[in-house]
């Protein structure tokens, strides 16, 4: 997947001279995960450049670049490092169009690796997507396949509004597939069916898609048809696809690796409860991380992060209700 992201950035830089990529270590080093590998050599240090080590500065500067007509694409080394920049994001990035009545808009993309499963140190595995999804005026995209990552990133860069693009660290090098070689975008706001099934709907995104898909396979062998829906974008969310599936299955499991309370899974659950409660045959079950900081200790990380086993258990639970 990281190669697909690198390719999307390459295509975007080649296509639009206003695209500028910047962040910590994105230049010579090519990013801590090599997502920007080779781009500075190809496009020069004016368009792909290293910044001082300061996230508020990176996002704030990007806002200024966007105001002045460039297409800033910032990399934050880990989504858990976004917090120093939250003032810039909440106070400005999300509301600049609104507070200037569209006189200015911010076509900025902020890429950040997120999520667990690869035994990172403290603060490297956070899933802060709900904070951003709760911020008016910003879009949130979380791909789960190389082709989606490429197509969604190109769409995000073309989008006139600010987009957070979270990349599951676990998927960077673990999933491979053929991707297009030309300019192909995947539109924001359209969910994807990963599997089809009539019994249970599993709604997930990013790093949890692979986990849910394994659980669906186990359920299929037990004779339960699971429909795995990869949301792809949280903002805007494709509620139609979710509701359509729920109307068919009547049973819902929502999966994320973020903490439980106030997470985006709660938004998904509430939307289903509001719009399709008459179709539900069982209470919605959430499979999530816990309301504790993500653990850095290898041995217990797998307890925190939802596994296929936990998802399969939730599927059995909604079936047995």
- Catalytically active residues, by annotation: 124
Closest approach of Cβ 266 to another protein, in Å? 15
Q: Is the dihedral of CA 282, 283, 284, 286 positive or negative?
A: negative
Neighbouring C-beta atoms of residue 47, cutoff 10 Å: 18
Phi, psi values for residue 159, rounded to 5°: -70, 140
Q: Provide the token pair at 167.
A: 């990349």
For residue 111, the number of C-alpha atoms closer than 13 Å in the C-beta half-sphere is 32
Between strands 233-235 and 139-141, the pairing is: antiparallel
Which C-beta is closer to another protein: that of 100 or that of 261? 100
Which C-beta is closer to another protein: that of 107 or that of 197? 107
- The residues with which 171 forms a beta bridge, in sequence order, are none
Q: Provide the token pair at 42.
A: 């190809």
Those residues whose C-beta lies under 8 Å from the C-beta of residue 297, and which sit 6 or more positions away, are none
Q: Provide the token pair at 68.
A: 């002045």
Which C-beta is closer to another protein: that of 41 or that of 54? 54
In whole angstroms, give the CA distance from residue 296 to residue 304: 10
Closest approach of Cβ 104 to another protein, in Å? 8
Which C-beta is closer to another protein: that of 71 or that of 251? 71
In whole angstroms, give the CA distance from residue 122 to residue 293: 9
Which C-beta is closer to another protein: that of 64 or that of 262? 64
- Which H/E stretch holds residue 84? none
- Which H/E stretch holds residue 30? none
- Which H/E stretch holds residue 286? strand 285-287
Which C-beta is closer to another protein: that of 66 or that of 143? 66
Closest approach of Cβ 87 to another protein, in Å? 6
Closest approach of Cβ 77 to another protein, in Å? 16
Q: CA 310: distance to chain centroid?
A: 21
Residues binding another protein (CB under 8 A): 20, 46, 49, 51-52, 54, 56-57, 59-70, 72, 84, 87-88, 91-92, 97-105, 136-137, 139, 159-161, 189, 235-237, 239-240
Closest approach of Cβ 293 to another protein, in Å? 23
Closest CA to 212 of 175, 266, 256, 179: 256
Closest approach of Cβ 52 to another protein, in Å? 5
């Amino acid at each position: 997947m990281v190669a697909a992201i690198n390719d999307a950035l390459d295509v975007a830089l080649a296509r639009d001279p206003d695209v500028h990529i910047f962040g910590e270590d994105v230049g010579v080093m090519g990013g801590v995960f090599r997502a920007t590998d080779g781009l500075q050599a190809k496009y020069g240090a004016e368009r792909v450049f290293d910044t001082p080590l300061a996230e508020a500065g990176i996002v704030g500067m990007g806002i200024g670049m966007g105001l002045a007509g460039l297409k800033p694409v910032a990399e934050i080394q880990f989504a858990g490092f976004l917090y120093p920049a939250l003032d810039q994001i909440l106070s400005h990035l999300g509301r600049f169009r609104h507070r200037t009545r569209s006189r200015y808009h911010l076509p900025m993309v902020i890429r950040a690796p997120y999520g667990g499963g690869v035994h990172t140190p403290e603060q490297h595995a956070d899933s802060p997507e709900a904070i951003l999804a709760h911020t008016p005026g910003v879009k949130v995209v979380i791909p789960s396949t190389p082709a989606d990552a490429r197509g969604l990133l190109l769409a995000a860069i073309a989008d006139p509004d600010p987009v957070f693009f979270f990349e599951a660290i676990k998927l960077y090098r673990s999933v491979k597939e053929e991707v297009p070689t030309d300019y192909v975008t995947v539109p924001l706001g359209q969910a994807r069916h990963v599997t089809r099934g009539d019994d249970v709907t599993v709604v997930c995104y990013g790093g949890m898609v692979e986990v849910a898909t394994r659980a669906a396979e186990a359920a299929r062998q037990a004779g339960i048809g699971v429909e795995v829906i990869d949301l792809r974008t949280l903002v805007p969310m494709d509620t139609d696809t979710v509701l359509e599936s729920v109307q068919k299955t009547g049973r819902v499991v929502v999966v994320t690796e973020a903490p439980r309370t106030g997470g985006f899974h709660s938004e998904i659950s509430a939307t289903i409860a509001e719009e399709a409660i008459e179709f539900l045959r069982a209470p919605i079950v959430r499979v999530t991380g816990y309301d504790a900081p993500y653990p850095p200790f290898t041995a217990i990380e797998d307890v925190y992060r939802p596994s296929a086993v936990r998802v399969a258990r939730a599927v059995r639970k909604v079936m047995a209700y």
